A and B are shown apart, each in its own frame.
Chain A
Amino acid sequence: MSAKGEACESCPAYNHAALKKMGIDSEGADYIVALAGNPNTGKSTVFNALTGLRQHVGNWSGKTVSRAEGGYNYNAMKYKLVDLPGTYSLLSTSTDEEIARDFILFGQPDVTVVVVDATRLERNLNLTLQILEITGRVVIALNLMDEAERHGLQIDVRHLARSLGVPVVPMAARQLQGVPELLQAIEQVASGAIVTQPHHISKYDPALEQALNTLVNQIEAEYPGLPNARWVALRLLDNDASIIQAVEEKRLGELRLSQQPTLTRQPLPVEMVQ
């Protein structure tokens, strides 16, 4: 551990001294960072590595039931980190997906870190691409690189970053590898030092694409400057109740302004089902 530490200190990416773990203290943060990803990709491990908290980590999916929050300081800026429940998609209607989706959309995080399991890249990219439709301010934490290597997988990280148009940080979070690089990437996207060019789904069905364009034009006319009009259009086409509600309550316009997340997790109303 110590020998490795000394070797790293000369490296510019080594910024351990600049990281101050703040535990649950996330008051007055300069930047809000959301942590998303499929279940069981090591999101909680990344969360703990950055905040110094010890949120329970287990090798099984579904253990982060509601979102957890923590904070850290890095290069004199204060970050609030929100660990979202693990999901495979943002489209369907489970509560987990709704929490994750609503936070990325309405919580307006400055950066969304998508933790991706390097050994199951294709499936993990399904979620990643959906997130990129909502926001371009994304950093990919390509976790479990050690495991991928053990299984004989080689991943062309530069090619992946180019394809997705956002920074990709290879990590082995359990061994704390890649944490300094992740911190740096988050900072650069948050501050605008890196301008991302997020991948957008290109191969929609022609009829769908046409409907989408019609709707996007109308949304942009009504809400100029809305950052994710295309995604809102996709959800409206899917009859998404919470987005329709947001339109009815005129909350879509707030998306440009609000910086603080407003949605909090409510206990599920459990009612008798007949």
Chain B
Amino acid sequence: MSQLLQTARQLRSEIGHEYEDKLMEAVFTDAAQIADSSVSRDTQRARLTLDRLLDSILTHPIGGFLAMGLMFFAVFWITITGANVPSSLLADLLLGEVYPLLHSAAASINTPVWLSGVLIDGVYMATAWVISVMLPPMAIFFPLFTLLEDFGYLPRVAFNLDRLFAKAGAHGKQSLSMMMGYGCNAAGVISTRIIDSPRERLIAIITNNFSVCNGRWPTLILMGTIFVAQAAPPALASLVAALSVVAVAGLGILMTLLVSWALSRTWLKGEASVFSLELPPYRPPQILRTLYTSVIDRTLIVLWRAVVMAAPAGAVIWLVSNVYIDGASVAAHMVNFLNPFGLLLGLNGVILVAYIVAIPANEIIIPTILMLTLTLGSNSMGAQAGVMLELDSAAVHTVLTQVGGWTLLTGVNLMLFSLLHNPCSTTIVTIWNETKNLKWTAVATLLPIALGFLVTFLTASLARTL
């Protein structure tokens, strides 16, 4: 060992344990002295009264949770009601106008049927569906969410949830990575880097999938709209739809806490570490800039990812529906094989096949389900095999109930399964990159789907006994 280190060690033992305290004391003394002599306070003006008033409500032990529920409910309600009109306009344009044009263009240059099938009925339709279904809600949801963030609300949510996370044996910062997960789970997993303790970081990574990501919001919103809201009076339909979406998101938070609690008492034992969370002052959101950056940075990037995933998936869907083995399409074989298990869970074979096809991106679940239901159903309602049809939500309801045999239970269980299933492939790769550990990657992948099977099985059994 070098001379220098030896001297240091000797001096250290002479000073003793209070070294760090003495050091910080000296720093604090100087900082306080400089700050005191540089800052003067205008005592006439009331300080931070509005901030304090807001905080007394938004971080209140009970009122804080009420405000949180209300705030997120409002965001979803605005998203659901606002997205309807632009969604159907886009669908009319991309599927009603452009789609026939592409087909007649393909026919005029004598494109082989299989090629126009893969490209137009597969790739183009899947992409068009994803754009018309996802763009409007995202263009509303992201700016609203970013405004809340800009305003300074998110740390208050973290503050409210901190006590619960501490009780669950997890790190309070996990509430922040959970927030990121509502945009994208892969981003949420990366953001767990802010957690220093490896134990607590693993818990945060494993439970991040319980935050409903972008790709899953459309499924929840559609199911809430056409199944849950149907059970309510028409005047309350959109409110009930929004409530059901908030309920599933709330269940996600509950699962996060429960699983964190269970992990910190079994595989990942330990105490929650202490950290300080700063509540920033509320700042008036910069509306125009927020709109611009949330559209560019979030909406378009997420949409681009969905399109990139949907295009090849569209081709795959067309192929499995049109390649025949022993008189039935590959899709039919898969659906028939999985159907008994699906029904046991209150779902069906089509849904399970859709979740296999859609591992790369949750965004294409609904289009895949619709297409498979239409082509495999006894009454094909004029759909060609492997063509994803755009339908308005009333028609989707008709197709699913009459052709697919869906009930309210199927809709509710699809919402639950959408919350509780394996992460998408991007997230799985990200978990591997962050942990470099096969076991924990497997746990993070398989634990949610096992829970999904369990919960949907329970609700299905319950529904059957009623």
Interface residues of A (CB under 8 A from B): 39-40, 54, 56-63, 65-66, 88-89, 91, 94-96, 119, 121-123, 125-126, 128-130, 147, 151-157, 159-160, 163-164, 174, 199, 201-205, 207-208, 211, 214-215, 218-219, 222, 233-234, 236-239, 244, 247-248, 267-274
**Most chain B CB atoms below 10 A, which of A60, A154, A239, A268:** A60
Check if B23 sits within 8 Å of A60, measured CB to CB.
Answer: no
Confirm or deny: B326 has a beta carbon within 8 angstroms of a beta carbon on chain A: no
Residues on the A chain within 8 Å of B32, using CB: 122
Taking the closest CB of chain B, its distance from the CB of A211, in whole angstroms, is: 4
Confirm or deny: B14 has a beta carbon within 8 angstroms of a beta carbon on chain A: yes
Residues on the B chain within 8 Å of A239, using CB: 12
Check if B268 sits within 8 Å of A234, measured CB to CB.
Answer: no
Confirm or deny: B241 has a beta carbon within 8 angstroms of a beta carbon on chain A: no
Check if B40 sits within 8 Å of A156, measured CB to CB.
Answer: yes
Number of interface residues of B (CB under 8 A): 77
Taking the closest CB of chain B, its distance from the CB of A207, in whole angstroms, is: 6
Check if A156 sits within 8 Å of B31, measured CB to CB.
Answer: no
The B172-194 residues at the A interface (CB cut-off 8 A) are: 173, 176, 190-191, 193-194
Taking the closest CB of chain A, its distance from the CB of B168, in whole angstroms, is: 17
Complex CA gap A238/B191 in Å reads 30
> Beyond the given A155-B39, A201-B30, could you list 20 further A-B residue pairs with CB under 8 A, ordered by the A residue number?
A40-B278, A57-B293, A58-B150, A62-B173, A65-B191, A66-B193, A125-B34, A128-B31, A129-B30, A129-B31, A152-B47, A154-B42, A204-B22, A208-B15, A211-B15, A215-B11, A222-B4, A237-B8, A244-B5, A270-B436
Taking the closest CB of chain A, its distance from the CB of B129, in whole angstroms, is: 29
Check if B297 sits within 8 Å of A126, measured CB to CB.
Answer: no
Residues on the A chain within 8 Å of B36, using CB: 122
Q: Which of A60, A88, A96 contacts B152 (CB 8 A)?
A: A60
* Closest residue of A by beta carbon distance from B179: A60
Given A215-B8, A218-B7, A271-B198: A199 and B30 interface contact (C-beta under 8 Å): yes
Residues on the B chain within 8 Å of A119, using CB: 281
Residues on the A chain within 8 Å of B400, using CB: none
**Most chain A CB atoms below 10 A, which of B11, B38, B440:** B38
A sample of 28 cross-chain residue pairs with beta-carbon separation below 8 angstroms, ordered by A number, consists of A54-B297, A58-B149, A58-B150, A59-B149, A59-B155, A59-B280, A60-B154, A60-B155, A62-B176, A121-B38, A122-B31, A122-B32, A122-B36, A126-B28, A129-B27, A130-B27, A153-B39, A156-B38, A160-B34, A201-B27, A215-B11, A218-B4, A219-B4, A238-B20, A244-B5, A268-B201, A273-B199, A273-B270
Check if A163 sits within 8 Å of B37, measured CB to CB.
Answer: yes
Residues on the A chain within 8 Å of B167, using CB: none
Residues on the B chain within 8 Å of A201, using CB: 26-27, 30
Check if B293 sits within 8 Å of A54, measured CB to CB.
Answer: yes
Q: CB-defined interface of B294-324 with A at 8 Å, one 1/0 digit per residue?
A: 0011000000000000000000000000000
Complex CA gap A59/B150 in Å reads 5
* Closest residue of A by beta carbon distance from B44: A152
Taking the closest CB of chain B, its distance from the CB of A124, in whole angstroms, is: 8
Check if A65 sits within 8 Å of B194, measured CB to CB.
Answer: yes
Complex CA gap A58/B298 in Å reads 13
* Closest residue of B by beta carbon distance from A244: B5
Taking the closest CB of chain A, its distance from the CB of B14, in whole angstroms, is: 7
Residues on the B chain within 8 Å of A174, using CB: 283, 286
Complex CA gap A31/B412 in Å reads 59
Residues on the A chain within 8 Å of B110, using CB: none
Q: CB-defined interface of B370-382 with A at 8 Å, one 1/0 digit per residue?
A: 0000000000000
* Closest residue of A by beta carbon distance from B51: A151
Residues on the B chain within 8 Å of A125, using CB: 30-31, 34-35
Confirm or deny: B29 has a beta carbon within 8 angstroms of a beta carbon on chain A: yes
Given A58-B149, A61-B278: A208 and B22 interface contact (C-beta under 8 Å): yes
Residues on the A chain within 8 Å of B23, using CB: 91, 204, 208, 234, 238
Check if B38 sits within 8 Å of A163, measured CB to CB.
Answer: yes
Per CB-CB distance, the 9 closest pairs between chain A and chain B, nearest first, are: A152-B42, A152-B45, A122-B35, A125-B31, A236-B8, A273-B199, A211-B11, A59-B152, A160-B38
Residues on the A chain within 8 Å of B196, using CB: 94-96
Residues on the B chain within 8 Å of A207, using CB: 14-15
Residues on the A chain within 8 Å of B464, using CB: none
* Closest residue of A by beta carbon distance from B286: A174
Given A62-B176, A203-B29, A247-B4: A155 and B38 interface contact (C-beta under 8 Å): yes
Residues on the A chain within 8 Å of B158, using CB: 60
Taking the closest CB of chain A, its distance from the CB of B5, in whole angstroms, is: 6
Complex CA gap A213/B20 in Å reads 17
Complex CA gap A174/B289 in Å reads 10
